[in-house]
Structures are given as C-alpha cells and as structure tokens.
C-alpha cells in the first residue's frame, strides 16, 4: 500500500474490491504520522480514537454497500475548524484548552460521506500569517526542504498533504491561506467563491473574506472534496445553493487572460518563466492568450491590510477571558489578551481598532471598501473579454524559516498575488507548475463566480 500513489477514487475502488479495509488504511496513516510528524510538525493533535472509530463504521457500511463519496478517505483539518469533542486552538495560547462543543458544517458533510478525520493541523495563530511561523506551539517545516516554511496560514494542512500524512486536508483562505501554502508544498489548493462553502464552525478572522476549501494531491481530488463541501447552510446566511455549470470547456474556444500587473517587478524570474511555460502549453492546445489589465491591483495589499485587521479586531473581541480565553492568576482583560495573543495577532488587532476608531473610519476603512469595489470591477471588466485569468500563486518559492519573521511588511508581500481574489470573492485554484531549485512553483487560475468546476477542469489539462 503506497500512500503516495493513492487518490480519493483509488481508495474508494480499493476498499470496494477488498484490497484493504478502512481500518487498515487509517492505521497505516496513523503509523506514518507517529514516525514523521515530530520532524515536520504538521499536526497539532492527532485524533486517533475518533479516526479508528470512524474507520470501523466505514467498514461496516462498505459491507452493506452504503459507503459515501469519501468512504475511508483520511483527511486532516486545520485547527481553526471545529470537530466536536476535539481540541481547537487556532494555534493560540488563548484557546490552548478549548474543546469544540459541536461540528463545523463542513465536518458534518465530510463525516456523512465517510471521511476519516486524522487530526488537527498547525497554522499561523488565528490564520494570521503566511509562513506558519506565527503558531504559538510549533513551526511547521516544508516537506521539500525542512529549512524552509510551508507557507501559511494553512501550512500544516499543506505540509501534511504533501508528505502523505493524510490523503487530503481542509484549510481556510482569507488572503491566500490555502493557495500560497499549496504552491510552496507542491499540492493543489482550491479557494472557493465566497458563499460556496459554509463557514459555520470556522473561527472567524475576517468574515467578509474567509472561505474553507480543500488542499489535495490531485485536481480530481479537489473536485471531489469541493462537491461534498459546497451548498446552502441555514447556519451561515452568506452560503448559497448554486446549480454549478458542469459543461465541459472547449480549450479551442477558450480565452485565457494574463494580467500584466502580476508579471511585473517583484515576481521572481524563475516563477514567471515557469508560469509562462504553462500558459504556452495552453496556447499549444488551442487556447487564445490575451494580455489584460487589472489597474487597481497595486492597491489590493493596503486595502486588505485595513479591511481584514478591522474585521479581526471585532471578531477577536470575544476572547476576553470570560466567554473564552486563557485562565491567568490576575484574570483581567489586559492580562488574558496580553499573554494569550501572539505578536502578529496583537499587531492586527491594534491596526484594525485604529482603522475603525472615531475620526479614522472614513479615512481608512470606508476608503478601503471603496478600493475593494474598484478591484472587483477590474475583474468583472476583464471577464467580459476572457474566460479565465492565470497568474503566479506566489511571487517567490518557499523562503527559509526566520527569513521574513522580523519584517512584517516583507511577509505581507508573500500574499500579493492571492489577496485580490479574496477581496473580489472569486474562486481560484493553485496547481503545481514545475520546480525551481527543487522547490515547487504554483500557478493560479482565477475564474468567474461559482465556476469552480471550470477552473478545475482547466487546471487538469496541464496538471502533472
């Protein structure tokens, strides 16, 4: 049983043919986690008892012919998504002892289809970061080079998937937190359209930007997982039931847009060259390639770092030591938040509180929202001329641990290619586009709202 060769379809097929049981497969993954996680630090906690219990249940259902789409598929969950009865820390000391009282909607959907939950993965504290160095508990390493970061904030999920410590994983994406680590670790990362997947049970960072999505080893696995996760949820008023257009794309009638702003100074030459090679592959298949402009892209980063901290300062107000929070000797508000939150979380709370304060709201938050509207209009205009947009996922390959941790602005630039997509609420997928100096390069495909299946089909045409 070579775990690196498995896909969701192969697992289901093998289980139905009796080549191995769900319990066999789960034990194999748990054994591998026990051996390798200490060095990689991808998991914060392993839900061994829950996983084995679920595997036994799946084996019973397989015998009855009642297995779901994800029967026996071992999945890791980012530790800001609630799994009932298990710890959920958001990689923060303020929630070190918190046990989830209910399942997130996405977890209910996974369990209904027979997925096996192996454990909770590391992240930047409260999903605030681009390297998984901001975790209060450990620093996750990149499986391709353990001296480098796996990206963030879903670095634990991407590293676990890339290292075959799970078949697939769930992450959350507020400004690139699924796609950027997927690019750094050589996996597939899908950020769905805002509203395509319920956020109920996801610890809120920036509510108008957050989305849950899959990190997988193949494009097809991402498609299968997305099909399970999507849909209207009464517990999340922003979620929608969409009749997704599953019409096959004709590459010879497809126009791919290349936004010139994403290939300018600041993008590593090696990254640019690899992405352009893949664009050339599409051209050889018959696609029309057209340069387009998204003129307000240069304002995306500053707008994001006003909007997201503002929403975070509001969302994180609940961690006050009364309803949630650290038990300290003094037990006061200042002491709980001072000791419970890490530096990056404090930085964003202070920034957001300032932007929302009296006299500054109009100058900062309101203006940033107007810029967000202009960025969205840029995409709408571009999609009148093209069917898809292709960009690099990250301006650089994975950087060394510690290289950017003392320079917040340099770290923020790691998400410069992904942030505009969140501001516009669009779907985007990062897929491997080759390697530079043995490090993975990610290519980002951006689509029109609720065209996840189309961007995945386009991705599959070049996915190696």
Task: List, edge to edge, every strand of the sheet that includes 116-121.
Answer: 43-46, 116-121, 74-78, 168-173, 211-216, 188-191, 428-436, 439-446, 388-392, 255-259, 288-292
What pLDDT does residue 321 have?
80
Which structural domain range is residue 461 located in?
1-464
The low-confidence residues of the chain, meaning pLDDT below 50, are none
Catalytic residue check, 153: yes
What pLDDT does residue 204 have?
97
Catalytic residue among 21, 41, 69, 78: 78
Catalytic residue check, 410: no
What pLDDT does residue 275 have?
98
CATH number, domain containing residue 301: 3.90.1300.10
Catalytic residue among 41, 92, 131, 153: 153
Torsion angle of C-alpha atoms 4, 10, 14, 17, degrees rounded to 10: -160
What pLDDT does residue 329 have?
65
Which tokens in the block code for residue 1?
A: 């049983």
What pLDDT does residue 314 have?
96
Per DSSP bridges, beta strands 168-173 and 74-78 are: parallel
- By C-alpha distance, which of 459, 398, 444, 453 is closest to 133? 398
Burial of 234 (0-12, 13-18, 19+ CB in 10 A): exposed
pLDDT digits 0-9 by tens, 319-348 = 988 777 676 666 677 888 999 999 999 999
Per DSSP bridges, beta strands 116-121 and 74-78 are: parallel
DSSP string, 130-167: SSS---SS--PPBTTBTTB---SSSHHHHHHHHTTSSS
Q: What is the DSSP letter of 319?
A: -
What pLDDT does residue 245 have?
62
Burial of 237 (0-12, 13-18, 19+ CB in 10 A): exposed
pLDDT digits 0-9 by tens, 368-410 = 999 999 999 999 999 999 999 999 999 999 999 999 988 989 9
Backbone CA torsion sign across 185, 188, 194, 197: negative
Catalytic residue among 41, 154, 157, 177: 177
Pair 202, 81: CB distance under 8 Å:
yes
Q: Report CA-CA distances (Å) from 193 to 225, 314, 433, 455.
A: 15, 23, 23, 12
Contacts of 26 (CB under 8 A, 6+ apart): 51, 52, 54, 55, 72, 74, 116, 118
Angle, helices 48-64 vs 8-17, to 10°: value is 60
What pLDDT does residue 1 have?
73
Pair 124, 135: CB distance under 8 Å:
yes
What residues are paired with 321 via a beta bridge? none
The CA angle 349-351-352, to the nearest 5 degrees, is: 65
What pLDDT does residue 336 have?
86
CB count within 10 Å of CB 366 equals 12
Produce one character per residue of 151-160: b if its CB has 16 or more CB atoms within 10 Å, e if not: bbbbbbbbbb
Produce one character per residue of 85-120: b if its CB has 16 or more CB atoms within 10 Å, e if not: ebbbbbbbbbbeebebeebbbbbbbbbebbbbbbbb
Q: Kindly report the pTM of this predicted structure.
A: 0.97
**Domain total for the chain?**
1
What pLDDT does residue 265 have?
84
């Amino acid at each position: 049983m070579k775990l690196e060769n498995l896909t969701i379809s192969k697992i289901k097929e093998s289980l139905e043919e009796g080549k191995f049981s769900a319990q066999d497969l789960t034990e194999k993954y748990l054994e591998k986690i026990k051996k390798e996680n200490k060095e990689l630090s991808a998991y914060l906690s392993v839900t061994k008892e829950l996983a084995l219990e679920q595997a036994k249940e799946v084996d019973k259902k397989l015998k009855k012919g009642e297995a779901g789409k994800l029967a026996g598929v071992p999945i890791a969950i980012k530790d800001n998504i609630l799994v009932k009865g298990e710890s959920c820390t958001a990689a923060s000391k303020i929630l070190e002892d918190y046990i989830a009282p209910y399942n997130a909607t996405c977890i209910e959907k996974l369990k209904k289809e027979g997925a096996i939950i192996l454990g909770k993965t590391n992240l930047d504290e409260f999903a605030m970061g681009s390297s998984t160095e901001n975790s209060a508990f450990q620093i996750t390493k990149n499986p391709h080079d353990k001296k480098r970061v796996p990206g963030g904030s879903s670095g634990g999920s991407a590293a676990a998937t890339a290292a075959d410590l799970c078949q697939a994983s769930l992450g959350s994406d507020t400004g690139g937190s699924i796609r950027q680590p997927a690019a750094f670790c050589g996996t597939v990362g899908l950020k769905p359209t805002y509203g395509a997947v319920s956020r109920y049970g996801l610890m809120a960072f920036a509510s108008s930007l957050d989305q849950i999505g899959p990190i997988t080893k193949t494009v097809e696995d991402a498609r299968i997982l997305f099909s399970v996760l999507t849909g209207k949820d009464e517990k999340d008023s922003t979620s929608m039931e969409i009749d997704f257009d599953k019409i096959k794309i004709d590459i010879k009638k497809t126009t791919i847009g290349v936004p010139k702003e994403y290939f300018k100074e600041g993008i590593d030459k090696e990254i640019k060259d690899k992405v352009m090679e893949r664009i050339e592959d599409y051209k050889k298949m018959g696609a029309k390639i057209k340069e387009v402009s998204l003129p307000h892209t240069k304002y995306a980063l500053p707008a994001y770092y006003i909007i997201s901290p503002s929403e975070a300062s509001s969302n994180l107000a609940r961690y006050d030591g009364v309803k949630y929070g650290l038990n300290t000797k003094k037990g006061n508000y200042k002491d709980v938040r001072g000791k419970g939150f890490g530096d990056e979380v404090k930085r964003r709370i202070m920034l957001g509180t300032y932007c929302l304060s009296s006299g500054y709201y109009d100058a900062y938050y309101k203006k940033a929202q107007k810029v967000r509207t202009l960025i969205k209009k840029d995409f709408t205009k571009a999609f009148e001329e093209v069917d898809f947009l292709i960009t690099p996922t990250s301006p650089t390959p994975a950087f060394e641990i510690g290289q950017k941790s003392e320079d917040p602005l340099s770290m923020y630039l790691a998400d410069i290619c992904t942030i505009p997509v969140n501001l516009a609420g669009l779907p985007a997928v990062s897929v491997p586009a080759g390697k530079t100096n043995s490090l993975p390069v990610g290519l980002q495909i951006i689509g029109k709202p609720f065209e996840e299946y189309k961007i995945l089909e386009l991705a599959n045409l070049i996915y190696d």
